[in-house]
Amino acid sequence: MTEVRIHQKILEEYPTFRRGIVVATGIQNHGHSEKLEAMLNEAIAQAAQQAVDLKTDPRALVWNEAHRQFGSNPNKFPPAHCALLKRVQRPGAQIPLINKVVAIMNYNSIIDVIPVGGDDVAKAGETLELRFADGIESFTPLGNPETIEHPDPGEIIYVVTESGEVMCRRWNWRNGHKTRITEDTQIIVMNIDGLGEDSEDRALATRDRVAAMLQEFCQAHTLTTMLSSSQPSYDFDI
């Protein structure tokens, strides 16, 4: 049994926060999809042609303010969807198609201007929690397997409670290396985070598209739910 949960203190301090969850099993993440690559390239081209003003758009501002609230500087440590949009809004921008699941994450994050992230459950643990850090937890940054960092006390982290291994620092800033999604990944939990006005509707729409794309392009079996103050946790078997 695996549990994903949000600590009550986060839900109290960020009452509009919703986390759409997609559990996907039986993933076929090897190989290439021309259709998926074309969709991602089109999303990148559209982002460059119709750029979002990250200094004024409420879908960016609400996350910048959330980061400041827990003591993080969003200019130095930008939320991942803002950093991705800034990157792809440059003329001629391209991002590598690492694998199909990562492409699905990037596509949905770009077109909906929303944080979308995921982890390989087989590399994680039994309890995956979004909570405030004590500062003693360990984090290995994506792409730097020899590096070990510790989050700042009070920082919002997504962590494996049994091991203290941080899967994502500063809520949605940087993913960890150990639970990264690779071509061999077969089981994932995908998180789609809504905050601010219409947060649940926005997270719900993206969540359901993510699930449908995982079914179409990765032949995955999916389960979905929505975490909130009325349902702060979700248990599932893998």
Could you give the dihedral angle defined by the CA atoms of residues 169, 104, 128 and 198, in that order, rounded to the nearest 10 degrees? 80
pLDDT in the model for residue 29: 98
The pLDDT score that the predictor gives to residue 93 is 85
pTM for the whole structure: 0.96
pLDDT of residue 158: 98
Q: Which residue has the tokens 């998180």?
A: 191
- The pLDDT of residue 238: 78
Question: Domains of the chain: which residue ranges?
Answer: 2-231
Predicted confidence at residue 187, as pLDDT, reads 98
The residues near 27 (Cβ < 8 Å, ≥ 6 apart) are: 101, 185, 186, 187, 188, 214, 218, 219, 220
Give every CB contact of residue 16 below 8 A, 6+ residues apart in sequence: 194, 195, 196, 197, 199
Q: What is the reported pLDDT for 85?
A: 96
Q: Decide: 230 and 152 in contact? Cβ < 8 Å.
A: no
Instruction: State the pLDDT at residue 234.
Output: 98
Q: What is the pLDDT of residue 94?
A: 86
Give the helix ranges, DSSP H, for 89-146.
100-112
- Which pLDDT score, from 0 to 100, does residue 92 have? 83
**28-30-36 Cα angle (round to 5):** 85
Q: What does the pLDDT read at residue 73?
A: 97
Query: Residue 69 CB: number of other CB atoms within 10 A?
Result: 11
Q: Domain 2-231 adopts which CATH fold?
A: Phenylalanyl-tRNA Synthetase; Chain B, domain 3 (3.50.40)
Q: Which pLDDT tens digits describe the chain residue by residue (238 residues)?
A: 999 999 999 999 999 999 999 999 999 999 999 999 999 999 999 999 999 999 999 999 999 999 999 999 999 999 999 999 999 998 888 898 899 999 999 999 999 999 999 999 999 999 999 999 999 999 999 999 999 999 999 999 999 999 999 999 999 999 999 999 999 999 999 999 999 999 999 999 999 999 999 999 999 999 999 999 999 999 998 7
